[in-house]
Structure 1
Amino acid sequence: MANPVRFIQETRAEIAKVVWPTRREVVMTTIMVFIMAALTAIFFSLVDLIIRGGLQGVLSYFGG
């Protein structure tokens, strides 16, 4: 079993190595996430409309 004091020291040493993002980086990344989510939603909405229209066309052709 590891020594708890050594574990805490190693944990602090690892935390000190972490490079935290700047405020600007966080804001830019957040904006990019929202833009990509919006573009993905638009893409899948268009794909849904195309598939729905095609399926309705096929069903109306064979359904009478």
Structure 2
Amino acid sequence: MARTSPAEFVRQVRQEMNKVTWPTRKEATVSTIMVLIMVFVMMLFFLGIDSVFSWAIQYILGLGN
């Protein structure tokens, strides 16, 4: 593999950074809101699953009276 000088490396990095398409503020906001909604939905899902398993184990072990 050929070695590149630090100056050449910086030039290549700048060229690649110019190719990057950054999201707009609106796209970033919508994506953030969607992530927060999905986290909340998954939190409720795992809370429900955990509650069901907790109830089942207590029932099996006879701790539920």
Residue identity opposite 2:44 in structure 1: I
Gapped regions of structure 1 (runs ≥ 5): none
Task: Output the CA distance in 2 between the equivalents of 1:36 and 1:9.
Answer: 40
- Number of aligned residue pairs: give it: 62
Residue identity opposite 1:19 in structure 2: T
Residue in structure 2 matched with residue 60 of structure 1 by the alignment: 62
* Correspondences of 1:18-57 after superposition (within 5 Å): 18-57=20-59
CA shift digits 1:23-58 (9 cap, x unpaired): 110000000110010011000000011001111111
Q: CA RMSD in A?
A: 1.5
Q: Given the two structures, how large is their TM-score scaled by the length of structure 1? A: 0.89
Q: Are residue 8 (structure 1) and residue 6 (structure 2) matched? A: no
Compare relative contact order (CA 8 Å, sep 6+) and give the higher one, 1 or 2. 2
Give me the identity figure in percent. Answer: 35
- Select the structure that is richer in helix: 1
Gapped regions of structure 2 (runs ≥ 5): none
